[in-house]
Amino acid sequence: MKHEPSKREIALTKFFLHTPAKTIYRSFADSIPLQGNENVLDFGSGYGTVAKWVAPKLTSGQLTCADISSIWQAECRNHLAKYKNITYFNDDIYHLDPSEQFDIIYAHFVLHDLPYPELKKVIPHLIKLLKIGGKLYIREPVSDRNKFHTICKLLLQQKLQVLQTNQHLIPLMGTSFDIHYQKRALNHFNAPHTPPKSGQTGPG
């Protein structure tokens, strides 16, 4: 489902990046351990609020900023023009070649905006784009608990190993969870995992 941002939404996003609120995005980027040579996908990159902190760490790697919004992609290109290790994908994520395998995929406050039917298609496709042993990092709000638990259940169905869950109270955004997953081989045992509840912090 395509969504184009309003001028107000764009202006507010740019404003936040010039206030202490920018630590919201930087802290998420810093939670992703990078060696510097990875192939990384930013799903729903928007203005590049997280990519801004990820790109400099990929000294010999590559970052793909994917967003279906043409407006956000144009804004992101301008915002991150100085980084030469970024490619841009402005299309439906299903059109991204599954032979393109990523070491890391992350999504920051993206999945909860997708309608339920779309989630059921998007999540399996994202996992197809992830290498065996690759990692997925998401941050999602729990304001809509039904949506949050649906996201967690759909990810669990992909036989991912949960590495870590952390709860945060983010100004203006409310309570959110960071969840780190790893894609394992199909024959690898994956212990059952239930979606975290509000007030619960996982290992790490």
Give domain 30-183's CATH architecture. Answer: 3-Layer(aba) Sandwich (3.40)
Residue 197 has pLDDT above 80, yes or no: no
* Strand locations in the chain (E): 39-43, 62-66, 86-89, 102-108, 130-141, 160-170, 174-183
CA distance 96 to 119: 16
Q: Are 133 and 183 spatial neighbours (Cβ–Cβ below 8 Å)?
A: yes
For 10-53, write each residue's pLDDT tens digit. 999 999 888 888 899 999 999 999 999 999 999 999 999 999 99
CA distance 15 to 170: 17
Can you name the residues that pair with 88 across neighbouring β-strands? 65
For 45-100, write each residue's pLDDT tens digit. 999 999 999 999 999 999 999 999 999 999 999 999 999 999 999 999 999 987 87
- As a 3-state breakdown, the chain gives helix, strand, coil percent values, each rounded to 5, of 35, 25, 40
Domain ranges of the chain: 30-183
For 99-149, write each residue's pLDDT tens digit. 879 999 999 999 999 999 999 999 999 999 999 999 999 999 999 999 999
- Higher pLDDT residue, 202 or 149? 149
